[in-house]
A and B are shown apart, each in its own frame.
Chain A
């Protein structure tokens, strides 16, 4: 299947003349996913777990099937190692509160990479402050990569938690997760992998990585908004406190105390987003049908073409790894002398959608001495023609500003 065939499934991209280059923020949804969600509401909707009638049992089954689908997709050992959440942010907060807050002791260390999204950074500031533990960072080299010596220097005895994004949502850097996890385990730390920008784009295997926790959002991988995933090793999840308390997550409730349901229900309080889980399940089918290695191949080709075309423009600066082997389909750049917000407005007037700003990664941009960047990010429905339109829109940007600044 080619990206041209795939694009036909995305009505939003065919019904209007737009070039969508912001899949890193959220992906568009194919009609198969939209139909699966519709069908769920038309045929199977009820409150899962709460009814003894057929429809409620059906909803419960559908939810559980989605869990199994996710477990297989990332090669978890057990279906019950998958906890459904709203998004990656909620998954990371769950870990911070239910694991970090309890396990961290005074002077323990938490090590993050400087390229973490705020969602894997701000919760750790709070938790380390509350527990009097210490927050440290692994920094990047000039190509936006974390070197082995940086890993070995920062992940040392005393470190209890390592948080690392598999792919930077700003630079597109693919981080060496296996190496980081191995090092973390050698010093007695656990590793939390933010897979928000990786699971949608290439095969991720939690057991091969030896990740202790791994999180992602459905909406960046063709699913509806509002469904996310937390993977955790069973023995860790079993020994953690619940995150949210209330209905469904319990076994017996007495006036003064409660026993909790087993994992994963213990972490799924309140009525769950079954429609979202159905959408995620259908998105996984869609991706599996293409094949994750084919997904990777399509994006690699787009990345190489985009890099070639962008580097022909002498008025832009590109950030991130030069080695495209360590590079996912996310590119940050600036048009010299022009603020990224102006660039994205001018591109928008040419119907090219890109992101500008700090991409929820202020510490990274500050470390790089930048306020903001333009970012394009690809997915399976993008084409070379999209990149050609991007280049033309950038030339237009130059034209608008050339009268006023040296560009």
Chain B
């Protein structure tokens, strides 16, 4: 039960039911599709880059609460960041989920995305949390 409450937290539930990041954007500069075959999570990220800065970011698609929340939280975090900053945050997030070594200072940088830390205790759902972040990595490294 502890387990449950530490996963389906208010932050996650709120983001999974909010839809303000779930839309198409006008004239995106690139798009990337991500898919999680085991669970069926399926998202498409749309980005608008302004030189080196992520000016706008959104997603469409469907999936479980964890994947939807993780995507929305990521969009909030990365909008307005430079490409390099975004890649660093993605790297920290993946390390957090994989329970690799990570400093308190790094965790702070993740802001709300820290709410997903406990997913690392639920191996069956790790892929749901990671999907958006790996898809984003591919998108900006294109």
- Given the contacts A404-B17, A405-B17, A349 and B4 also touching, CB distance less than 8 Å: yes
In the complex, what residues of A have CB within 8 A of residue B17's CB? Answer: 404-405
Partner of B13, one of A345, A346, A404: A404
In the complex, what residues of B have CB within 8 A of residue A357's CB? Answer: 38-40
Given contacts A349-B3, A371-B62, 11 further A-B contacts (CB under 8 A): A340-B64, A341-B63, A342-B8, A342-B65, A345-B4, A345-B7, A345-B125, A349-B1, A371-B42, A400-B4, A404-B17
Partner of B122, one of A340, A345, A356, A404: A345
Task: Determine whether B43 belongs to the interface, using a CB cutoff of 8 Å to chain A.
Answer: no
A contacts, CB < 8 Å to B: 338-342, 345-346, 348-349, 356-358, 371-372, 400-401, 403-405
In the complex, what residues of A have CB within 8 A of residue B124's CB? Answer: 345, 348
Size of chain B's interface in residues, with CB distance under 8 A? Answer: 23
In the complex, what residues of A have CB within 8 A of residue B39's CB? Answer: 341, 356-357, 372
Instruction: Give A395 to B8 CA distance when docked, in angstroms.
Output: 16
Instruction: Give A73 to B66 CA distance when docked, in angstroms.
Output: 46
The answer to whether A372 and B40 touch across the interface, beta carbons within 8 angstroms, is yes
Nearest-neighbour CB distance to chain A for B66, whole angstroms, equals 7
In the complex, what residues of A have CB within 8 A of residue B3's CB? Answer: 349
B contacts, CB < 8 Å to A: 1, 3-4, 7-8, 13-14, 16-17, 38-42, 62-66, 122, 124-125, 128
Instruction: Give A348 to B8 CA distance when docked, in angstroms.
Output: 13
Partner of B4, one of A339, A346, A358, A405: A346
Nearest residue, chain A, Cβ from B63: A339
Partner of A371, one of B7, B38, B40: B40
The answer to whether B66 and A342 touch across the interface, beta carbons within 8 angstroms, is yes
In the complex, what residues of B have CB within 8 A of residue A358's CB? Answer: 40
Instruction: Give A168 to B125 CA distance when docked, in angstroms.
Output: 27
Instruction: Give A341 to B122 CA distance when docked, in angstroms.
Output: 12
Instruction: Give A304 to B7 CA distance when docked, in angstroms.
Output: 34
Instruction: Give A371 to B64 CA distance when docked, in angstroms.
Output: 11
Instruction: Give A71 to B128 CA distance when docked, in angstroms.
Output: 45
In the complex, what residues of A have CB within 8 A of residue B16's CB? Answer: 404
Instruction: Give A371 to B4 CA distance when docked, in angstroms.
Output: 24
Instruction: Give A161 to B125 CA distance when docked, in angstroms.
Output: 40
Instruction: Give A285 to B62 CA distance when docked, in angstroms.
Output: 47
Instruction: Give A17 to B2 CA distance when docked, in angstroms.
Output: 17
In the complex, what residues of A have CB within 8 A of residue B4's CB? Answer: 345-346, 349, 400
In the complex, what residues of B have CB within 8 A of residue A404's CB? Answer: 13-14, 16-17
In the complex, what residues of B have CB within 8 A of residue A340's CB? Answer: 64
Instruction: Give A349 to B4 CA distance when docked, in angstroms.
Output: 6
Nearest-neighbour CB distance to chain B for A34, whole angstroms, equals 26
In the complex, what residues of A have CB within 8 A of residue B122's CB? Answer: 345
Nearest 7 CB-CB pairings of A with B: A339-B64, A341-B64, A349-B4, A404-B13, A342-B65, A404-B17, A341-B39
The answer to whether B65 and A339 touch across the interface, beta carbons within 8 angstroms, is yes
Nearest residue, chain A, Cβ from B125: A345
Instruction: Give A225 to B79 CA distance when docked, in angstroms.
Output: 49
In the complex, what residues of B have CB within 8 A of residue A338's CB? Answer: 65
Nearest residue, chain B, Cβ from A338: B65
In the complex, what residues of A have CB within 8 A of residue B42's CB? Answer: 371
- Given the contacts A349-B1, A349-B4, A371-B40, A341 and B13 also touching, CB distance less than 8 Å: no
In the complex, what residues of A have CB within 8 A of residue B40's CB? Answer: 341, 357-358, 371-372
Instruction: Give A346 to B124 CA distance when docked, in angstroms.
Output: 12
Nearest-neighbour CB distance to chain A for B30, whole angstroms, equals 26
Nearest-neighbour CB distance to chain B for A354, whole angstroms, equals 12
